[in-house]
Structure 1
């Protein structure tokens, strides 16, 4: 039986799905790389906010119209009893907290004659994305308890993985061909508190063979310490890139969100980062329409974004999630107002991004090639994480996926940089450089 894993949501969810898939492969199943060739599709769902829930259900029903479907992930973990009763289109609906039970349920349902195998080491994974770029999850759960967030209800309290386990999985990923390592978790800065993450990152940079890029994702502002900044400045393999979700700028909203910092403190952190790491790219996420958000609050946030000029920015609308503290908050903002604010903020950010991209025309950028789309190659600079950031579109070249090139940017638009033609030479370590 061929199994296709359809991962929805974040990289952390992807890691869980890849570990489940690896175990099924070890039990005699075969990995399918498209849904069309699969006998079974496992939909690894997201349940963070309402749009993610809706996407998960739509994806399940779409796959179920063509083949057998099994469901796991955050949505099924949170609403397990309800989905097991009502989602009759799925042959299996399983949670994620008890991974052993999920595995056995799949085996018993799909292939009762197949013996279940002992659990392999937690580091075993079947990669579902490009083999040159992969996330490495260093922890599970979260203790921040932001008032709007359902993640602790789904994933539980913060639990760090052992350093030995993390390094062992990193070595295996590198042997599989991974060149770009994305360090992920619900809050990676909580790892080992002040000194734990910097120490872990130094050890990751010293693995042999080495990763070329190590990218830091999901960093809580309060956890960005001087020690972490020092690692970013002293270790060349740690990219000058930080995913720093700020959520808002207005103090009263940050307080109600349980973020534990002020707008001025967030601005001061950004100034420090840009002073200490001049080449840094800062990505942030902002939450609009939180209960009580006024037009004045939005204007203050708008001015903050305009003055700060984030390198990468995403926005999402408040979603009232059952059992979270904010679910009962009054003074909700009309959805039409939230949409207008989101549109205005993204229009501003697009103007900022367009100017930033135009400034790169004529520059030489190190680019990781992800693959081909039609007759062009698609890659990313060190300032761009997979799937969520900008791209480099390369024409009239013969390139190799998973390789790094030095490329001259010849044109730009809001989300893409463009390269037209090149000549190259190979340098030690597999790095390709244009002449």
Structure 2
């Protein structure tokens, strides 16, 4: 599907800068891992320079090299126990593949769709009059910073617990310890990609809520006009009214068509976001599933052969299971939240369609709006195989529980 980028002359660069400033904290965090999606030169978006691309590749090579040395030490630690080595290495290899693909994509493929996403959001802000509210971007930035701080703190706590539980003499070696730290950073980067994607979903969700707010205000004020004769003190509450974007009822009013066009822009933005992060979502789901299976297997194995630190190791496995599931749960929750807001949009537009007191032209615009809502379901898919919503989380827990029961039965045999 080819999507046209909005014309730059129709969008002020200051509007794009407002959007970039909102997500700037997470962009800086991405740059630490060598992931550079675009450059800002003279307040304008530009492709990533060759120097920055090479720098990102060198950073990725350093991470992979240190982790590879850590893999080499795995054979010494486990003395050729290949089953144990494989269960330890497979999740790490998958994380490295995801990281390498992300580095390559950010250097070669994602500039145009990322640029289109930012310009679409800036265009929406201009049409929705969000730029009038000076604190809108500031509040969004503060929320993102809070989410980023919580994200880092949770990861630090889990890593600290894991290092405490799994400390061995081999980890006293500097190279091995550096490789382990790099591996933890890879897991951090994987979850960071989900945080970036969740941020884009959040940007789309709050703007769709603004569209719903405009529809709600129009419906509410229309109902007030119909019952105005019974409300003697109505004039006293006019100062509390919200901004009526659609305006008065008229056959020449085309504001519903404008809102439908904004929804279409939102649909394109969600599609591009899904396309850019599709591989990262797939690898995150796959790594999470494999990690949970391996952690369950390790827990059963430890239970069958308990050692002095059995309780601590079990606690460590539970912590990592919760962390891996948490990233998927947050993703599913935000996707479901976007679908819920879209459902509210559908109900509001349907209420306008069924109001036969409105002019025919306005109801036709509402019907076109409804067709766009059906055309853009705002669902996030993984290669058209999985739909990311709350049902996926329930299926994930169901499969993990089934596997746990199966492993328990096999271990008794």
Which bin holds the TM-score, normalised by the shorter protein? under 0.3
Based on CA coordinates, which of the two structures has the bigger radius of gyration?
Answer: 2
Choose between structure 1 and 2: higher helix proportion.
2
Choose between structure 1 and 2: higher strand proportion.
1
TM-score by length of 2: 0.22
